[in-house]
Chains A and B, each alone.
Chain A
């Protein structure tokens, strides 16, 4: 089974520039998550989709971050403009919808963003 695919793996940009990350979840997984993991911290949920609808985006800095999952499959996360404190690994995860048993989230390798 193919895993969660993310690209690029690494990105270095200057502050105030824009950047976009792409995620292709595991086939059939209805739920897609974007997490931000700052060095030395645990992953922080930015946004959660179920199919193409947003379930939770309460921790997404909406003045600069946006995300979409137009067809309910792959997703993009954008930062515009980037700040130094956005330097982090951006993780995408997916899980299937299940009744009863709790589905685990499968994670991609992440995109390491450095803002200079």
Chain B
């Protein structure tokens, strides 16, 4: 069964700092990859997803993620964070031979100091 690891549980940054959140998955086959965000008091929302093609994926609000197949990684990046990016971020993987099962990592809680 696939699994997803997010090694940073809590990240604290100042505004304008650069962000990189790690995500690694364990599955050797074809995968689809997602980053979801949960702002305080709100439901999970999709930030971006990788299906195929260009491994560098751009999402909403200036976020991007790079799929590195050899490293089984899909790290999330943003060059300059804002206070409004304070939220919890979840990486998720869908293995193509496992139906539509969407497996989530444990999440990274980001706090951006103004």
Interface residues of A (CB under 8 A from B): 3-4, 31, 33, 35, 40-45, 48, 50, 55-56, 91, 93, 95, 101-105, 107-110
Chain A residue nearest to B33 in the complex (CB): A102
* Cβ–Cβ < 8 Å partners of A91 in chain B: 43-44
- Say yes or no for B73: interface residue by CB 8 A criterion: no
B window 40-54: CB within 8 A of A = 42-46, 49, 51
Interface residues of B (CB under 8 A from A): 4, 6, 32, 34, 36, 42-46, 49, 51, 90, 94, 98-107
Query: Is the beta-carbon distance between A102 and B32 smaller than 8 angstroms?
Result: yes
Chain A residue nearest to B51 in the complex (CB): A102
Q: Decide yes or no: A42 and B104 within 8 Å by CB, A91-B44, A107-B44, A108-B43 being known contacts.
A: yes
Q: 23 A-B Cβ contacts within 8 A?
A: A35-B104, A40-B106, A41-B106, A41-B107, A42-B90, A42-B105, A42-B106, A43-B104, A48-B100, A50-B99, A55-B99, A55-B101, A91-B44, A93-B44, A95-B100, A102-B32, A102-B49, A102-B94, A104-B49, A105-B102, A107-B44, A108-B43, A109-B43
Q: How far is the CB of B30 from chain A (nearest CB, A)?
A: 11
CA distance A40 to B44 in the complex (A): 15
Chain A residue nearest to B90 in the complex (CB): A42
Shortest Cβ-Cβ A-B pairs, 5 listed: A42-B104, A107-B44, A102-B32, A42-B106, A104-B46
